[in-house]
Amino acid sequence: MPESVGFAKSLKRWMLGLFVACVFAVGGYALLTKSDETQSRAAGQGQNPQAGRTVPVVAAAAKTGDIGVYLNGLGSVIPLNTVTVRSRVDGQLMQVRFKEGQTVRSGDLLAEIDPRPFQVQLTQAEGQMARDRSQLRNAQLDLERYRGLLQQGFIPKQQLDTQEALVRQLEGMVQADQGQIENAKLQITYSRITAPITGRIGLRLVDQGNLVRANDANGLLVITQLQPITVIFTVAEDSLPAVLDRLKTGETLTVEAFDREQKRKLATGTLLTVDNQIDPNTGTVRLKAVFPNDDNELFPNQFVNARLLLEVKRGATVVPSVAVQRGPKGTFVYVVNADRTVGVRPITVGVSHGEETSIDDGLSPAELVVVDGTEKLKEGSKVDIRIQNGDHPTGTDQLPKGADTPRKGTQS
């Protein structure tokens, strides 16, 4: 019996050892197989890590079009006329007939000053003139009598001369009275303050009921002409000859005014004149442009970016500005080939205007250039193409083989 028990225990230990050995054998085989697959995959990748990989890009077709040559400058809006309206007589401000911010026309009534003191002066001057005219008339009659008496020898010549001097004296007094009358009428006219120009009224400087004095330094209000309005901006002195050449021919040059961020066009006008000297400190010259300003987009002393259209290049090869790349060897673009690869093409850049750039040499119209995804490209890279905004060369059939169908509205 004890021998049976010992034999059973030995058998169990032997079976347990066999089981453990089998487990280790299976695990070692699995690890060896996985290692071989990993090495094979790594070896395959080491032979061609980029095999079959494409870079997604957005492309646009080079076009034939017109592009403007512009001169840019910083400017400020300056009104043609600004008037500080002041009283020309002393008195109490009785009525204010304008509103702040109101647009008025030349001759509109703005305010009234108490006219009664000037009406009293007018009445006094008219009475004085009536009295002096009566005296003059009587002196003239006496002069006629003295002339007859002198011919008859009843009075001496001296008495006639004295009467003639009296008549001339009274005539002078009548003229002085007429001047007093005209002055009083003028003061009454000045008591009604009218707009000297057409423009927009600013904030009121004096309230109704206050006493005002002639030519007070602060004035009553300020009127600024807004239509038309001008912009004064500066350009580099090197650009001055080209501007003067076109002005000499009588050509009208267009000027556009943009906001501070150069994103929104405020108004379009024309170049009016060029200043008569160059600023030696900055090497710039001032130009003045006039704008109709019908929509009041321009406001006095507003900062603007002015853009002067110097000329228009016709039939130029134009590409999006983002397609132009710059490197150690100069400017270049990535051109999409028919086999869906890209090539580095050196170019000569012409004029850049906003989102478009003209190419003087190195690129033909209808060729596709990459506008987005250039940071991952190099010579010969395979690409997956999308066409920007649905643009394509002359037809969908001319797109590179394998390119995506144009998607209208796709943005770079």
- The answer as to whether 267 is a domain residue is yes
Instruction: For residues 128-157, give the mean pLDDT.
Output: 91
Q: Cβ-count burial of 121 within 10 angstroms (0-12 exposed, 13-18 middle, 19+ buried)?
A: middle
Question: In whole angstroms, what is the distance from residue 400 CA to residue 342 CA?
Answer: 11
What is the average per-residue pLDDT within 104-110?
A: 95
Tokens of 376: 């991952």
pLDDT in tens, 173-232: 999 999 999 999 999 999 999 999 999 999 999 999 999 998 788 899 999 999 999 999
Do 230 and 304 reside in the same domain of the chain?
Answer: yes
Q: How many residues does the chain have?
A: 412
Asked if 330 and 393 sit in the same domain, the reply is: yes
Task: Give a yes or no: residue 48 inside a domain.
Answer: no
Would residue 309 count as lying in a domain? Answer: yes
Whether the ω angle into residue 196 lies within 30 degrees of 0, i.e. cis, is no
Q: What distance in Å separates the CA atoms of residue 232 and residue 210, rounded to the nearest whole number?
A: 39
Higher-scoring residue by pLDDT: 71, 23: 71
322 with 387, same domain: the answer is: yes
Partner residues linked to 326 by β-bridges: 331
Same domain? 179 vs 218: no
Distance, CA of 75 to CA of 153 (rounded, Å) = 88
Same domain for 243 and 298: yes
Domain-located, residue 50: no
185 and 214 share one domain:
no
Query: Which residue pairs from 116-124 have beta carbons closer than 8 angstroms and sit at least 24 positions apart in sequence?
Result: 117/91, 118/89, 118/184, 118/187, 118/188, 118/191, 119/184, 119/188, 121/180, 121/183, 121/184, 121/187, 122/181, 122/184, 122/185, 122/188, 124/180
Sign of CA dihedral 52, 54, 60, 63: negative
> Which CATH number is 121's domain given?
1.10.287
β-bridge mates for residue 256, sequence order: 268, 307
For residue 111, pLDDT over 60 is answered with yes
Q: Which residues pair with 79 in a beta bridge?
A: 229
Co-location of 143 and 200 in the same domain: no
Kindly write down the DSSP assignment for every residue of 279-292, as one continuous string: ETTTTEEEEEEEE-
Binned at pLDDT 50, 70 and 90, residue 11 comes out as: low
In this structure, of 36-50, 272-286, 298-312, the range with the lowest mean pLDDT score is 36-50
pLDDT in tens, 345-378: 999 888 887 788 889 888 888 899 999 888 888 8
Q: In this predicted structure, which of 47-56, 107-116, 310-319 has the lowest mean pLDDT?
A: 47-56
β-bridge partners, 348: 361
pLDDT for residue 196? 95
Check if the beta carbon of residue 67 is closer than 8 Å to that of residue 349. Answer: no
Same domain, 329 and 261: no
CATH number of the domain that residue 361 is part of: 2.40.420.20
pLDDT, averaged across the chain? 84
Q: Is the predicted pLDDT of residue 30 greater than 60, yes or no? A: no
How far is the C-alpha of 113 from the C-alpha of 94, rounded, in Å?
5
DSSP structure class, residue 37: H
- pLDDT > 90 fraction of the chain, expressed in percent and rounded: 56
Comparing 188 with 381, which gets the higher pLDDT?
A: 188
Instruction: Kindly state whether residue 365 falls inside one of the protein's structural domains.
Output: yes
Question: Which helix or strand (DSSP H or E) is residue 70 part of?
Answer: strand 63-79
| Total of domains in the chain | 5
Judging by DSSP bridges, how do beta strands 330-336 and 325-327 pair with one another?
A: antiparallel
3-state DSSP call for residue 305? Answer: strand
Residue 409 lies in a domain: no
Q: Are residues 290 and 363 in the same domain?
A: no
Q: Is residue 326 part of a domain?
A: yes
Above pLDDT 70, what percent of the chain?
82
Closest CA to 292 of 232, 235, 231, 250: 231
pLDDT tens figures, 34-93: 554 444 444 444 444 444 578 899 999 988 888 888 899 999 999 999 999 999 999 999
Q: Which residue has the tokens 């059973």?
A: 8
- Picking from 349, 348, 346, 350, the residue whose alpha carbon sits closest to that of residue 313 is 350
Q: Is the peptide bond before 241 cis (omega within 30 degrees of 0)?
A: no
pLDDT of 387 reads 85
What CATH number has the domain bearing residue 296? 2.40.30.170
Average of per-residue pLDDT across 235-261: 92
Domain residue limits at 337? 55-66+315-398
Indicate the DSSP class of residue 15. Answer: H
Same domain, yes or no: 170 and 216: no
Here the CATH number for the domain that contains residue 105 is: 2.40.50.100
For residues 174 and 213, membership in a common domain is answered with: no
- Please give the Cα distance from 195 to 81 (Å, whole number): 13
For tokens 């643009």, the residue is 391
Report the range of poorest mean pLDDT among 16-20, 263-267, 271-275: 16-20
Query: How confident is the model at residue 327, as a pLDDT?
Result: 87
Percent helix, percent strand, percent coil in the chain, to nearest 5: 35, 35, 30
What integer pLDDT is reported at residue 394 of this predicted model? 39
Please tell me the least confidently modeled range out of 112-116, 158-162, 171-175, 351-355: 351-355
Rounded-to-integer distance, Cα 82 and Cα 236, Å: 29
Task: State residue 177's pLDDT score.
Answer: 95
| Residue in the block written with tokens 């009208």 | 252
